[in-house]
Structure 1
Amino acid sequence: MKQLIESIVKPIVDHPDHVRVDKEENASRIVYKLSVHQEDTGKVIGKQGRVAKAIRSIVYSAAGSRHKKRTYVDIVD
């Protein structure tokens, strides 16, 4: 799933070398924390959060079939 998120985000940003995805998992959920360069945060979120919603939608649909846990994608400063 980390590779999927990276492959979606890297072409969007100006600093693809600063894209990092960390995974936190517990018994009931998985959280992927996406961090990008400070200048690229707006590009990843998009106008009215449309890009972030699209990223989350893709990840949720891909993870829903694989995991029995709730999956979240957080964009970290």
Structure 2
Amino acid sequence: MADMEQDQLFVEYVVKQIVNHPDDVKTDRIVDERGVLITLHINPEDMGYVIGRQGQTARAIRILLKIVGAKNNARVNLKIYEPEGSRRFQSAEAAPVDAEASVDDLGI
């Protein structure tokens, strides 16, 4: 853990305080010409805690991370890794709905 940068340590510390599975919190840090990208890997069960309602928690973490980055003269961005089985991907691939069956269920 000695080779981690301040921004990466900050993200891990904050997220570990929020989630139910702190041992599953991992970060990857990549530096390129656009700045620093920190990719956050968490337990899928904790995704809601980290993202928050309408993304408010994730937005707040990103704002604080930008402040930490500005202090160190770096542009820092946060990406939250979503595994393939996450809810966001499942809803996009939902089974087609039979409109007539739905209307029959309503009794109209």
TM-score (ref. length: structure 1): 0.92
User: Which runs of no fewer than 5 residues in structure 2 stay unpaired?
Assistant: 1-6, 83-108
CA distance in 1, matches of 2:60, 2:34: 23
The residue type equivalent to 1:73 in the other structure is: L
- Looking at structure 2, the residues matched to 28 and 52 of structure 1 have their Cα atoms a distance apart, in angstroms, of 21
More strand by share: 1
Residues 14-44 of structure 1 show CA distances to partners (whole Å, capped at 9, x for unaligned) of 1000001100111231100011001001110
Partner of 1:19: 25
Name the % identity. Answer: 33
The match for 1:51 among 57, 67, 75 is 57
Higher RCO, 1 vs 2 (CA within 8 Å, ≥6 residues apart): 1
Q: Name stretches of at least 5 consecutive residues in structure 1 with no aligned partner.
A: none
Of 59, 73, 77, the residue aligned with 1:72 is 77
Equivalent residue pairs, number:
76
* Greater fraction of residues in helix: 2
Query: SS of 1:14's equivalent?
Result: coil
Larger Rg: 2
Q: Does 1:37 align with 2:43?
A: yes
Deviation at 1:65, TM superposition (A): 2.1
Q: What is the CA RMSD across the aligned residues, in angstroms?
A: 1.0
Q: Deviations over 1:21-70 (max 9, x none)?
A: 10011123110001100100111000000100110011101111212x42
